[in-house]
Chain A
Amino acid sequence: EAQVTQNPRYLITVTGKKLTVTCSQNMNHEYMSWYRQDPGLGLRQIYYSMNVEVTDKGDVPEGYKVSRKEKRNFPLILESPSPNQTSLYFCASSFQGTGRAFFGQGTRLTVV
C-alpha cells in the first residue's frame, strides 16, 4: 500500500530537548516536504527536498533542520524545541512536478 509514515504520532517534550520526527515513503517519490498546521494559519511549508542530498527552506524554516540521505526518508529535526513549535506536523511526498501529494497522518507535538 502506498503510504507516508510519520513517527511518532504524538509527542510531548520539554523546551530545549532535541527531537527527531521521522518520515518515510514507499512510492519512490523524488519530492518530499514538511508542513506545520496551526489554527488560523493553515498549512505552511517548513522545508522541502527535491531529491537525495537536495534540501531547501520553505516558508517557516526557523528552528528546524532536515536531512535527505536516502530517497525514502526525510526526518525533521528540532535541535532545541521551543513552545512556539507546538503544532501539528505533516510530511508529504510526490513525484517531481505534480501537485498530487501523499501526506502522512501527522505528528502532534507539544513543547512545554
Chain B
Amino acid sequence: DAKTTQPPSMDCAEGRAANLPCNHSTISGNEYVYWYRQIHSQGPQYIIHGLKNNETNEMASLIITEDRKSSTLILPHATLRDTAVYYCIVRVPLIQGAQKLVFGQGTRLTINP
C-alpha cells in the first residue's frame, strides 16, 4: 500500500471548515484513499473513502486531486467533538490476505472554541 504523509497537528476554530491534507504521491491506480479518526483513546472511526471522484457524506467531504497524489478531508463546520487524530490510509481492496489497515501517525486536529 502507498505511503501517506500528513501534518502532525492542526488547529481550527469552532464553526469553521477544517481542511486536512494528505499526500500519497506513490498511489497506484487501484488504491483507494480512506480516512479514519480516533477520538482520544476510542476505537478508530471510519469517515469516508474514495478512488478518483470527490465524495461527500454526512460526516465530511473528500477531495482527491486529478493526479490522485494528494487528497483533502473537509469537515465543513467543525465542532469541539471533532477534536481527534485523523488518519489518511491508502490501500488496495483485497479479497484474501491480511487486509490490515496501516495507520500512520495521523494529524492531531484541535478545534478551538
Contacts and interface: CB of A to CB of B under 8 A. Distances in A.
B49 A99 contact: yes
B43 A99 contact: no
Interface in B37-53: 41-46, 49
Given A42-B103, A42-B104, A45-B98, A101 B46 contact: yes
Contacts of A59: 100
A56 interface: yes
Interface in A81-112: 88, 90, 92, 94, 96-106, 108
Given A42-B103, A99-B32, A99-B89, A106 B98 contact: no
B87 to A, nearest CB: 9
Q: Main SS of the interface on chain B?
A: loop
A76 interface: no
Contacts of A21: none
* Interface secondary structure of A, over-half rule: strand
B29 interface: no
Nearest to B46: A100
Given A48-B99, A97-B93, A4 B43 contact: yes
Interface residues of B, number: 22
Interface string B19-62: 00000000000001010000001111110010000000000000
Interface in B59-93: 89, 91, 93
Given A45-B98, A56-B98, A99 B103 contact: no
Contact of B46 (A42, A45, A102): A102
A8 to B, nearest CB: 15
A20 B40 CA distance: 24
